[in-house]
A and B are shown apart, each in its own frame.
Chain A
Amino acid sequence: MTRLRESPTARGALLCGLIGVLVALAWSVIIPPLQVPDEPQHFAYVQEVAQTGTLAGAADEQPISSEFGAAMSALRFSRTVGNPTGRGPWEGRDEWRLKRTLSEPRSASDGGGRTSASPQPPGYYLLGAVPYLVADAAGADILGRLQAVRLLSVLLAGLTVLFTFLFVAEVLPGRRVAAAAGALAVAFQPMFGFISGGVTPDNLMFAAAAALFFGLARAFRRGLSLRLALGIGAAIGIGLVSKQTFTGLVPGAALGLLILLARLPRERRLRLAAAAAGPAVLPLLVYAGLGATVWDHGLNDPGSAASPVVSAGTGQAPTMSGRIAYWLQSYLPRLPFLDDLIPGKVPAYNIWFKAWVGYFGWLDYRFPGWVTGVALGVWAGLLALLGRAAWAGRSVLGRCRGELVTYALMVLGLTIVIAKPAYEYRLQTGFAFEQLRYLFPLLALYGAVIGLVVTGAGRWGREVAVGIVGLAVAHTVFAAVLTIGRYYA
């Protein structure tokens, strides 16, 4: 505790983490039940784990329990999702019917079938079973238990913000204002807040990814110690059992570890390699072992969405060249030599930037179009400051080549992992698959970009930091107002 009091960095990280918790807590109460994307599937998985001790995905079970199905129906879930004028059962007989449904005894353990979430590894769901069971023991109805599991996501959001602060403080040493601005820009990013307020394993993945970035950054600056090797390994291990998407970060992290090990004296390399590899693979091995022996749940079990690619959307079968073209188009301006696979001149602007501004709920409401224009103007200014910072620090960047290559490979890996199912989904359905949250394992880098912008402002750094955090706070406050209007007005 004394050390904590004496370390301004630790205090700053804790404060940012606390702010992250408060923001996510507010979102978790404001968002009506099940209105975070895929929340029903994820909560059904948590319920199955908590009630039966087994994982979801059994071919002969119904996807959700009778209790949960009745609650979803009483919440008018299917008629609210995708229907901007649809409202929940908040008044009169509808509310009475919901309360009556919640109080009626129904089986909570007859779910556990295949859903789009059931192929996912169980890390988040095992953790979620704890608040679920605590709330259950306290006599909470199913919506109370859902809120209890949401609180797990809230705490994980705090960890993501905390590790983002530590990461930015590490890559920009001595610039705690920059670290604070970076971490708070994450905490007040409304799409992050929205996801943090719901039941989804993404939140565990975000926290693990932020911790991984912090561990690597610290090791690149201070050398790989036993503690850091264990920490980096643990972050990888937890991330791998949180969500399959995390695999995209692993090749880059592995390269980073190899670079760090190569800098050590030969006699320490094996020991620290083992220290990192152990916690990195142990959770996955335990999952695979229990899956094969106890849970009957393989690493590649199919979900409800799994089906052969039948080319209903475009009449094309997936090809390797198509995958590469789709991946490039998802992130870069349209290149003249590539087939048009995604509509629009700059698909990345439509897919990612507009979603950064806000595409809430089950992607059924957003800010008016002019807000995107304002955001574009703000980012033009921020990028100018970023360029200034990069130019001023070019000599430092040159010394960090190994670290930068590591992060670049992590970004590359994640984008490839996202683009693969996105390409197949678009061929199948003609619709977009991508959501901004898929990039949130890179939130620590987003925080670092904001930190660099503050650094680029030179002696006006604190003013710019206040401006950026202020814009982020305004962004979140108005997103919350938009959300309240969508569901309750």
Chain B
Amino acid sequence: MWHGALVVFRFELRRTMTLNRVAIWLLLVLFPVFIVSVMKYYEPEIEGEIPRDAFNSRQVRVQRGLAWGEEEHDGDGDESGPAPHPRGSAAEAEPNPMDPIWGFVFFGLIPEVITLFGLLLWVPPLVHAELEGRTWIYLAVRPRGRVSVLLGKYLTAITWTALAGWASTTACVLIAQPGCALRLWGTMVALVTLACLAYGAIYSLIGVWLHRRAMAIAVSYTLIFEFLVSFIPAVINKFTVQYRLRNLLFTWMDWWDLVPIEASTLFLGSERAWVHVLILCGIVVAVLGVAAQVIQRREYATIAEA
């Protein structure tokens, strides 16, 4: 099965080397770069607009002589607050009031926009494109051919999208030059990778299950479930990928103190980073497993037969 997946991956990756697809890839890379470049140009004005007490920032905390994890308001170890987070590396970084701004912009543009766009272009039509191109039957009559197509196309999509995300992150960090450049870069690269793996798996399931309307359903799922439901202050938001990524951003960047404790309780969680990573990996394995079962057992009529 994995041999077949790698064969499909190699073939599909070679097929991406067309002018159109490279142009789309470049567009995805350059879109955040453009936004960040404009912001960088107006950085002094943006920085001037930030109220001094806009965030209960690290700088403020340091000035107040508070340690990380130590709560200013009560300090009684309330269970509803975030768990103690890894610390150390950021403490040595040069504090910069623009850092969280860059972080949120990068997060919003790269793992949330570039990744989703890239994956939406590739993954939902994974079966329908073969049916429409009348190439499905040629692949489906190979041993484990159907699952090989699923996994091979999934690998191609996440590679193609992750490369765009990593390139864009690198360019954006170089342009913005935030105080915690290396840490922000590392966090974004990790988030892009996890977003690609998780969203790619979910779109794959949509692509094999509801292949005729896969694109529309994937877009609807993203807008309704990942963007809307993930901000509903209820247990349901824990089922979204967005919730996990958001938590990882705050955890890995040590930005818990940037939001009021009430907001962090509602929109963020108290789990440790490895729990989020484990849950995301679990989603990938479970969803791909279901997708493999669906693709193996589904009768896909060709367009002509339909």
Chain A partners chain B: no
